[in-house]
Amino acid sequence: MILTLKSDTTPQQLQELTDYLTNHRIQHTSIERSHLVVLPKNNAADLAEHFSCIESATHTTQPFPLASLEWKQQTHVAVGEHVIGSDDFSVIAGPCSVENEEQIYAVAEYLHSRGVPYIRGGAYKPRTSPYSFRGLGKKGLILLHQAAKTYNLKVVTEIMDLRLLDELMEYADVLQVGSRNMQNFYMLNELGKLNKPVLLKRGMQAKAKEWLLAAEYLLTGGNQHVVLCERGIRSFDSDMRNVMDIGVIPFVKQLSHLPIIADPSHGTGSSSRVTAMAMAAAAAGSDGLMVEIHPTPNLALSDKQQALSFEEFDALLERLNALLPAVHKKAPTQSGVFKLQTL
Ligand code: PEP
Ligand code: MN
């Protein structure tokens, strides 16, 4: 149950309410900056009659009340002048890792020419082996930021650790929480205190409802700017890097108001399958895509098997232009389609 408090509720009134709940052993959480008190169970039905500071009580049945559709119809996450989760189909693209100035400027220039508003790129990379390329660190972050600024793009990049928060707050527009950190509850708690958009990737072993509970951590901190990203889950099939769970897109839409996008690059692990799964995700109702691209995929320092070339990405955008009207979405450009030289 979610209690909405009147906007003029005093700290004392809130204290009286929470004291009452504590004394009656009713679990509750006050949401920062929101005038909300969440009760994970609907066990205080007549509360509003006893506390005049309560404006309304919304009954919820899901274990993630704030993320649930019972609470809200649709969240729109604003990133500057762009919105994720609206009729716009949000495309985020860029290399797995920022490698050097030439590479990231080439990607930024290309994305700008196509009307793609977001650039991605890891500066701090989670790598399975410590001997793999682990990113340029702060230098990469600054390069990404400068390239994005030059071409009027928004930056999406991963936060690996809270010690990097100050840097990322300065240089990123959207903080990506990677698959390996989806259940880093301490980190989620801290990111929940921010006003910065968070892209929460699905843990590679996470059930959909565990993922929504991770989102709930961000929401209970008062950060409402949460976007989910399906990136494939582990399975028994060793031929697949991950298994892209397209079915989770409509499933999440049945449960939650949070926007959900799809990452077919990590979801398939192979550039030969990225376009098919990108189209499938869009058709299934995804609010956008995150795709790895590279000026010279075979030379990429990380995830080269799954990076699309600019030509391949052009072909994907062209197919998206044809599909989006059928799913009532449009590219976030003036014309509503991605700009292609061939058009
Ligand atoms: C990435 O987007 O580069 C990445 C590391 O993704 P994931 O956390 O989904 O593995
Ligand atoms: Mn990658």
* Confidence at 342, pLDDT banded by 50, 70, 90: low
Q: Is the pTM higher than 0.95?
A: yes
Report the chain's mean pLDDT, rounded to a whole number.
96
Residue nearest to atom 4 of ligand 1 (CA): 178
| pLDDT confidence bin for 41, thresholds 50/70/90 | confident
* Cβ–ligand 1 contact at 178 (below 6 Å): yes
Cα distances (Å, whole numbers) of residue 38 to 185, 318, 342: 18, 45, 52
Sign of CA dihedral 8, 76, 119, 140: positive
Distance 287 CA to ligand 1 centre (A): 18
Res. 44: pLDDT tops 80:
no
Report the share of the chain in percent with pLDDT over 90: 95
The ligand with the least distance to the CA atom of 242 is 1
Give the strand order in the sheet containing 2-5: 29-31, 36-38, 2-5, 54-58
Counting from 1 in the atom list of ligand 1, the atom nearest the Cα of 180 is 8
pLDDT surpasses 70 at 96: yes
- Closest atom of ligand 1 to 120 CA is 2
Which residues in the chain belong to E strands, given as ranges? 2-5, 29-31, 36-38, 54-58, 77-79, 82-84, 90-94, 118-120, 154-158, 174-177, 198-201, 226-230, 260-262, 288-292
Separation of alpha carbons 71 and 68, rounded Å: 6
Residue tagged 């949000």 (tokens):
90
Ligand closest to the CA atom of residue 201: 1
Q: Say if strands 77-79 and 82-84 run parallel, antiparallel, or are unpaired.
A: antiparallel
pLDDT at 48 over 90: no
In testing the pocket of ligand 1, which one of 98, 118, 179 has its CB within 8 Å of the most ligand atoms?
Answer: 179
Query: Counting atoms of ligand 1 from 1, which one is nearest the CA of 229?
Result: 9
Tens digits of per-residue pLDDT, 241-260? 999 999 999 999 999 999 99
pLDDT bin (cut points 50, 70, 90) of residue 125 is very high
Bridging pattern class, strands 54-58 and 198-201: unpaired
At 337 the pLDDT is 96
Tell the residue nearest (CA) to atom 1 of ligand 1.
96
Distance CA 193, CA 212 (A): 18
Nearest residue by C-alpha to atom 10 in ligand 1: 179
Residue 331 per-residue DSSP state: -
| pLDDT of 331 over the 60 cut | yes
Mean pLDDT of 12-16: 95
Q: Is the CB of 122 under 6 A from ligand 1?
A: yes
Cα(15)–Cα(21) distance, integer angstroms? 10
Give yes or no for residue 181 CB within 6 A of ligand 1.
no
Q: How far apart are the first and last CA of the chain?
A: 51
Q: Which ligand is nearest to the CA of 228?
A: 1
* CA–CA distance, 332 with 152 (Å, rounded to integer): 13
Angle at 177 between CA 175 and CA 181, to 5 degrees: 155
Ligand 1 touching residue 201 (CB < 6 A): yes
For strands 2-5 and 54-58, give the pairing: antiparallel
Closest CA to 147 of 176, 175, 107, 99: 107
CA–CA separation, 39 vs 30, rounded Å?
9
Give the nearest ligand 1 atom to 125 CA: 5
Q: What is the atom index within ligand 1 of the atom nearest the CA of 122?
A: 3
What is the 163 CA–ligand 1 centroid distance (Å)? 19
Reported as a single tens digit per residue, the pLDDT across 180-191 is 999 999 999 999
CA angle, corner 228, sides to 226 and 232, nearest 5?
160
Q: Tell me: pLDDT of 83 over 60.
A: yes
Q: Is 126 in the pocket of ligand 1 (CB under 6 A)?
A: yes
96 lines ligand 1 (CB under 6 A): yes
Going by C-alpha positions, the residue among 180, 154, 36 that lies closest to residue 94 is: 154
Mean pLDDT of 81-106: 97
